[in-house]
């Protein structure tokens, strides 16, 4: 007598359907895990981390120019052959040597005017009267006040470039500018790890106010100043 099986209680009847459903769920979970994205709602960025305790005067950025090529060699003059019978005009050179009858002046009799040329540029470190930042007119140490006001200016106008933040770019931008004889800012130069950071540093420098120019021996002169700006992500 053969045993009989109930078709409704056969466990292998829907085995293929269960396998397909399980495979679909696994693929769906894998897809969601790979495509899931999260965004920070707040960066909590502190701009004070971009400032050093003290601004240190750095060596100015030098620009190297290419040496121009030497001038082309000129061809030697053409020598003209003249017949012996032809008269040639000779060039006479006057004698420049003195004789015994010429009077010789003493060194004391010669008047020489001393011309003192004022330099065009004086470094911020050695200048007699440093440029005065607005608000430091009554400060005893105008040099220290200038440094402190520079820190406050960077903190006030600093903004981290969004494209540099997304790409994780950070570093230091060395800036060099000149405080002109009229107190304006000019000849701004910079060097940094990325163009977006250099552009932000240039924007900060362009917002510097007009200052009282630096003076050497009472005469306004141009004063170069080096300012590093730090960009650092948390």
Q: How many Cβ atoms are within 10 Å of 173's Cβ, its own excluded?
A: 22
pLDDT in tens, 26-72: 999 998 888 887 766 655 555 555 555 555 556 566 665 567 777 88
Q: Say what the pLDDT of residue 43 is.
A: 52
pLDDT in tens, 151-179: 899 889 988 888 888 888 888 999 999 99
Distance between CA atoms of 49 and 234, rounded to whole angstroms? 9
pLDDT confidence bin for 203, thresholds 50/70/90:
very high
Q: Is residue 230 exposed (0-12), middle (13-18) or buried (19+ Cβ within 10 Å)?
A: middle
Q: What is the DSSP string of 112-175?
A: -----PPPSB--TTT-SB--B-TT-TT-S-HHHHHHHHHHHHHHHH----HHHHHHT--EEEEE
Specify the long-range contacts of residues 122-125, CB closer than 8 Å, at least 24 apart.
Answer: 122/214, 122/216, 122/221, 122/222, 122/223, 123/57, 123/223, 123/224, 124/57, 124/214, 124/223, 124/224, 124/225, 125/57
> Which fold, 119-234?
TolA/TonB C-terminal domain (3.30.2420)
Q: Say what the pLDDT of residue 224 is.
A: 92
Give the global pTM.
Answer: 0.49
Give percent of the chain above pLDDT 90.
Answer: 8
User: What's the rounded mean pLDDT across residues 139-162?
Assistant: 89
The mean-pLDDT minimum among 18-27, 46-55, 189-198, 204-213 falls in 46-55
pLDDT in tens, 75-113: 777 766 666 655 656 665 666 666 666 666 565 555 655
């Amino acid at each position: 007598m053969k045993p009989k099986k109930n078709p409704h209680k056969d466990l292998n009847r829907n085995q293929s359907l269960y396998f397909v459903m399980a495979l679909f769920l696994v693929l769906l979970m894998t897809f969601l895990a790979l495509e899931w994205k999260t965004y920070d709602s707040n960066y909590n960025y502190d701009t004070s981390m971009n400032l050093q305790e003290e601004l240190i005067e750095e060596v100015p950025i030098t620009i190297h120019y290419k040496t121009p090529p030497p001038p082309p060699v000129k061809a030697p003059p053409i020598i003209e052959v003249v017949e012996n019978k032809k008269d040639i005009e000779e060039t006479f050179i006057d004698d420049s040597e003195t004789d015994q009858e010429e009077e010789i002046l003493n060194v004391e009799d010669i008047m020489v005017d001393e011309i003192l040329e004022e330099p065009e540029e004086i470094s911020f470190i050695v200048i007699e009267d440093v440029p005065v930042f607005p608000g430091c007119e009554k400060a005893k140490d105008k040099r220290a006040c200038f440094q402190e006001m520079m820190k406050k200016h960077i903190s006030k106008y600093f903004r981290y470039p969004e494209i540099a933040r997304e790409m994780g770019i950070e570093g230091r931008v060395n800036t060099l500018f000149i405080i002109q004889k009229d107190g304006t800012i000019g000849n701004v130069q910079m060097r940094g790890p990325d163009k977006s950071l250099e552009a932000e540093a240039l924007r900060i420098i362009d917002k510097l106010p007009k200052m009282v120019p630096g003076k050497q021996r009472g005469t306004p002169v141009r004063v170069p100043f080096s300012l590093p700006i730090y960009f650092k992500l948390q």
